[in-house]
Amino acid sequence: MESILFTIGFTQKTAEEFFRLLQEARVQKLIDVRENRVGQLAGFAKYPDLAYFLDRIGGIAYEYHPAFAPTPEIRDAYRATHDWARYEQSYRQLMADRKVLDQADPAAFAGRVALLCSEPTAEYCHRRLAAEMLAQHWTALGHQVEIKHLVLARPVRQKKRIHSRDEGTDSI
């Protein structure tokens, strides 16, 4: 199996930015790894709207794999402590307890597949941990797996230029 596992979050992105990132990466399938995919705060990324938009806008398949979602207890503990090392350890233990690596079908992740969650970047999100665990597991079995995180490129802010009659152009 050859796979590029992309990760993407929907927050802090417009629908246009979100779908453009997926299209530019030529994603073939999006796997939703959120616990709650129907919340009103998800906007364009709530189910079933997301599955419809993916198909109509990009011809991208949609699957839901809630076994990769953290428990509310793990999320609540992280929100209370901001201890990422503890979160990561708890999440990895949960995945081991659920035996997700043994149950995950490599064929479902073949090709150009994106893991979806809400966080704007992958640094402190379980989708990165899931992608790393899957890649490590399948690489050990002889598969080729690459991970790429889809994030918006933020333009560099330029200093505002002002013109003064006496001093020429200055920056502030």
Is 70 in contact with 97 (CB distance < 8 Å)? Answer: no
Establish how many alpha carbons lie within 13 A of residue 39's alpha carbon, considering only the half-sphere containing its beta carbon: 10
Structural contact between residues 34 and 71, judged by C-beta atoms closer than 8 angstroms? no
H-helix or E-strand spanning residue 8: strand 2-9
What is residue 165's predicted lDDT score, i.e. its pLDDT? 46
Residue in the block written with tokens 């992105």: 13
Helix axis angle for 84-98 and 126-140, nearest 10°, is 50
Closest by CA to 30, choosing from 49, 12, 5, 13, is: 5
Asked if 116 and 45 touch (Cβ cutoff 8 Å), the reply is yes
Contact present, 168 and 25 (Cβ < 8 Å): no
| CA dist 15 → 8, 11, 49, 50, 112 (Å) | 13, 10, 12, 10, 20
Could you list the pLDDT tens digit for every one of the 172 residues in the chain?
899 999 999 999 999 999 999 999 999 999 999 999 998 777 899 999 999 999 999 999 999 999 999 999 999 999 999 999 999 999 999 999 999 999 999 999 999 999 999 999 999 999 999 999 999 999 999 999 999 999 998 754 544 444 444 444 333 3
Q: Where exactly are the structural domains of the chain?
A: 2-171
Rounded Cα gap, residues 123 and 96, in angstroms: 21
pTM score over 0.75: yes
What's the CA gap between 165 and 162, in Å, rounded?
10
Give the pLDDT score at 47: 95
